[in-house]
Amino acid sequence: MQINSNYIMVDSPKNLELALFNLKNSPILSIDTESSGYFTYFARVCLIQITAKGKNYIIDPLKIEKLDPLAEIFADPKVLKIFHSAYDDIRAIKIDYGFPFVNVADTMLSSRYLGMEHNSLLALVEHYHNKKLEKEYQKSNWEMRPLKVKQLEYAALDTAYLESIWEKMEKELKDRKLYEEAKSEFEFVANEDMTPKSGESFNLAKFPDIANFTPLDRGKIQVILQFREEKAKRLNKAPFRVLNNEAITRLIGTEMLEDNFVKTLGKKDGAELYLIMKESKIEPIETSELNKRVGEDLEGSEREVFRRLKKWKEHIQKIRKMEHSLLPSGKHLIEIINRSPQNLQELGEMKILSDWKVQNYGPSILAALKGDSFEDKVPNNLPSINSKRGLALKKPKRNKKSEN
């Protein structure tokens, strides 16, 4: 297969009609999207790249009002759709267009099942093709028109390698008896109900060096982040483009005077935020409140069940030598506790585990929920993943007595 950055621009209904002739007759499509999320609060699909039979098509949704003909192809079970990080691209397309997806493969998720240390597309292209892709246009403003030729060539290469990479990964997954598990995960992602983000997108615990601030300063940062969030939503701008973290840190480090806010934010926004800070009751935030672990608020029997499910998860990680992110998250474990499924059907109906996971992990999860021994309910033929992250051993705690 010839791999290059040449592309066919599809920026009119007529061009889309011509492109569809080839796309509809291709058994394999490699798909990627470019969105505005680095610049806007509400991400918008700005390009859809599709490689089919060695040809790279770049579809411009900002210039074509109706993309409905693509829905038929995306939902065709006879056509394999290859993504790198299918969740992100499928979510973006579903939110903007509502198109369903059937029969997908994901090279990013595959790389994690194959235990690869690095999972980015750049890493996979270098691993399988010994070729280094440029990252210069990764954070481009994809809403701007016209786009530069170099941007479009970069976008084309995001799909040009996917089919070749998937061919190699598919063989590796089958050789290691991981294919059915991975395909079930792909299907699960394709069927997920994707909804636009709601609520706050910021997390105080992730603010740079937050632990080094005083409790009162952390309370002030929380109020400023809330202000930034609401303004970002109104303007549809990425929060850091409204007010970046460095500016917030400078504000906290100076005296709370209106002039200081105006110098940082300008007259209107500075005066508005100063008034909010002045009238708000700033609640100190202790470090312990930042580092609450999932499940820490559980009490009594629920806390005990959560402890058992965590032991179950650690057991699976150990026997399969896998990273924790390929297993249910702490939030998912709490959801399972709250719903308390009584059988595999009820566990599957929760829609938080793929069919493969329900069948292979389900019996041991149900046993752990009931307080029964779960180890003997785990299939003894589960293939090892041998993830380098999964194999990382915890450093043993020092015995202080022996040091004295």
Taking a C-beta distance cutoff of 8 angstroms, is the pair 142, 34 a contact? Answer: yes
Average pLDDT of the segment spanning 313-342: 95
Packed helices 179-191 and 162-175: angle between N→C axes, nearest 10 degrees:
130
Note the pLDDT of residue 338: 93
What are the beta bridge partners of residue 106? 83
Taking a C-beta distance cutoff of 8 angstroms, is the pair 365, 336 a contact? Answer: yes
Question: What's 396's DSSP letter?
Answer: P
Average pLDDT of the segment spanning 387-391: 66
Note the pLDDT of residue 8: 97
For residue 402, pLDDT beyond 70? no
CA distances from residue 240 to 27, 102, 143, 207 in whole angstroms, order as listed: 42, 36, 18, 12
Count other C-beta atoms under 10 Å from residue 400's C-beta.
Answer: 7
For residue 317, pLDDT beyond 70? yes
For 294, the 3-state DSSP assignment is coil
For residue 201, pLDDT beyond 80? no
Q: What tens digit of pLDDT does each residue of 138-186 get?
A: 899 999 999 999 999 999 999 999 999 999 999 999 999 999 999 999 9
Note the pLDDT of residue 3: 87
Least confident of 89-103, 130-144, 159-173, 334-348: 130-144
Q: What tens digit of pLDDT does each residue of 11-52 get?
A: 999 999 999 999 999 999 999 999 999 999 999 999 999 999
Peptide bond into 146 cis (omega under 30): yes
For 95, the 3-state DSSP assignment is helix
What single string gives the DSSP state of each residue in 256-283?
--HHHHHHHH-HHHHHHHHHHHHHS-PP
Note the pLDDT of residue 2: 67
Question: Could you tell me the domains of the chain?
Answer: 8-191 (3.30.420.10), 204-288 (1.10.150), 300-391 (1.10.150)
CA distances from residue 244 to 17, 170, 237, 238, 265 in whole angstroms, order as listed: 44, 43, 12, 10, 10
Q: Give the Cα separation of 159 and 91 in Å (integer).
A: 17
Average pLDDT of the segment spanning 59-84: 97
pTM: 0.91
Mean pLDDT of the chain: 92
